[in-house]
Chain A
Amino acid sequence: MLINSLMLFIEETLPIFILYAYINAWEFTQSDRSNEKAPPGQVSSLQLTYMFILGKNYHHLMYISAIILGLLFSYLLTSIRPWLGSSYTGTGYEALLVIMTIICVITVVFGLHAKGMLARKLYFSISLFTLILPHASDFIVFFDSVSKSQLYSSITIGAVLGLGICASISYLLFFLFLNLKNDIVIKLAVSVFLAGQLSNVVNILQQIDVLPSSLPLWNTNEIIADRNEFGQFFHVLFGYDATPTLAYLAVLILSFLILFAFLIKTSNSKKMQIVDSVNGDQL
């Protein structure tokens, strides 16, 4: 039960931690550029940890509030899930999952594009909230199911270990992106991550027969199995699937290309605006 709860906790919380790392890295690079503070390499690890958790001047309190709110609302969602699961001929919960995934992706993109700090934080907070809701609800259902067998200690240890692993991965990603000092890399990573999240929608829709399922294009389970740690990690990071269908692959590639092109295009237009305003001031 310890291994099971650990794996389940990682599966449910890793996407949240990875998104949190990307948001923080983006937030840091943006505020760092506008304020012309010390580059990431010159910041001590203690300061970096502080910024990872709370941001500069406690700016991340909005994100932490969104996470707490997401956890609270996930209890509400869990209580109505039996009803949702039986509504709309058993497709109610899947429909909600699809809507929440789309909202999450759109708000992250809007957040990356937002000019004002408040708007950016608001968009990112909504994305965190919508990502936490279903994942936290899944873990609550798991806890409710296995707690009847009196295995609290195993579940708690598994959850604590999982939390540590996810927080470490998140912090390492945050640290890596800060030191790369390149917006494009973050945009690439975010686009891949969001494309992975969107491609999950295909599996959900195929599961409820809204999208026609097809034979998998290939099977790489012998190289990296979906069920092992790397398979799960890569699935969260860039939507890896050992047996992808054509629809899954099409959504993954198309959404990645569209998201990445959109983020690059908007950053170029932003730079043009800055150049124009500087030229205007000089004249």
Chain B
Amino acid sequence: MKIKHYLKIFITLLCGFTVSTFASADIVITIELRNHIFEPNIIKVPENTKIKLIIKNKDTSPEEFDSFELNREKVIFANSQATLFIGPLPKGIYHFFGEFHPNSAIGKVIVGNCNPNSQNMKEDKREC
């Protein structure tokens, strides 16, 4: 009985944390991976903003988008795309790389204090 009791508490707490917010991202950015190189490899975004990052892998082999600074890790299979969310972030430079080709697939997210135009905020490849 005690196990069930503790398990209930544990699952309830866990469910509490996994409640979906379904909040949409403020900015959508698309980057492509060709010949193990990110295009663009520098992304400029405003601070304290959530960003939806769409990564399109145009190569014939899978790649893993990885960033220790952003705490993100996602495998993108050949000729497919993956979506992940980053931010809100404070000002700074956040490096990312392709874990399978770390010498060529490198890039960074530069978070600054720019003010994007609200009309264009959801456009792809948005830079500010």
Cβ contacts under 8 Å, A86 to chain B: 80
Known contacts being A102-B14, A209-B21, A258-B10, is A215 close to B62, with CB within 8 Å? Answer: no
Chain B 75-96, CB within 8 Å of chain A: the 1/0 string? 1010010111111111000000
Give, as a whole number of angstroms, the nearest-CB distance from B73 to chain A.
Answer: 8
Count A-B pairs with CB separation below 8 Å. 115
Q: Which 7 A-B pairs have the closest CB atoms?
A: A226-B68, A145-B100, A209-B85, A82-B77, A227-B68, A145-B61, A90-B83
In the complex, whether A100 has a CB less than 8 A from a CB of chain B is: no
Chain A residues 133-185 with CB under 8 Å of chain B are 138, 141-142, 144-146, 148
Interface string of B8-24 (1 = CB under 8 A from A): 01100110011011110
A254's nearest neighbour on chain B, judged by CB, is: B13
B23–A212 touching, CB < 8 Å: yes
Contact A142/B69 with A86-B80, A207-B74, A266-B2 known, Cβ cut-off 8 Å: no
Within 8 Å CB of B68, what residues of A?
225-227, 231, 242
Please, how many residues of chain B have a CB less than 8 angstroms from a CB on the other chain? 45
Instruction: For B98, give the chain A residue with the smallest CB separation.
Output: A145
Which residue of the partner chain, among A85, A110, A205, A241, contacts B82 with CB atoms under 8 Å?
A85
Q: Would you call B9 and A209 a contact (CB within 8 A)?
A: no
Which of A86, A113, A141, A254 has the most B CB atoms < 10 Å from its CB? Answer: A141
- Bound-state Cα–Cα, A114 to B74, Å: 36
Q: Does A220 contact B (CB under 8 A)?
A: no
- Residues of A contacting B86 with CB < 8 Å? 213
Does residue A206 face the partner (Cβ distance < 8 Å to B)?
yes
Interface residues of A in 109-127 (CB under 8 A from B): 110, 113
**In the complex, which residues 47-79 of chain B have their Cβ closer than 8 Å to any Cβ of chain A?**
48, 50, 52, 60-64, 68-69, 71-75, 77
| Interface mask (A185-226 → B, CB under 8 Å = 1, otherwise 0) | 000000000000010011101111111111110000100011
**20 pairs of residues in contact across A and B, judged by CB atoms under 8 Å:** A82-B77, A85-B75, A85-B77, A98-B18, A106-B7, A141-B75, A141-B77, A145-B100, A145-B101, A206-B85, A213-B85, A215-B89, A226-B68, A226-B69, A241-B71, A242-B68, A250-B17, A258-B9, A258-B13, A269-B2
Which chain B residue has the least Cβ–Cβ distance from A110? Answer: B3
Asked if A209 and B89 sit within 8 Å, CB to CB, the answer is: no
In the bound complex, what is the Cα–Cα distance between A241 and B102 (angstroms)?
21
Interface SS of A by simple majority: helix
Is A60 interfacial (CB-CB < 8 Å)?
Answer: no
B32 at the interface (CB under 8 A from A): no
Of all chain A residues, the one with the shortest Cβ separation from B60 is A148
Chain A residues numbered 243-282 whose CB sits less than 8 Å from any CB in chain B: 243, 247, 250-251, 254-255, 258, 262, 265-266, 269
A146 CB to closest chain B CB, in angstroms? 6
B67 to chain A, nearest CB (A): 9
Q: Quick check: B2 and A208 within 8 Å, CB to CB?
A: no
Q: Enumerate chain B residues within 8 angstroms of A201, measured Cβ to Cβ.
A: 18
Closest to B50 in A: A213
Residues in chain A near residue B63, CB distance under 8 A:
145
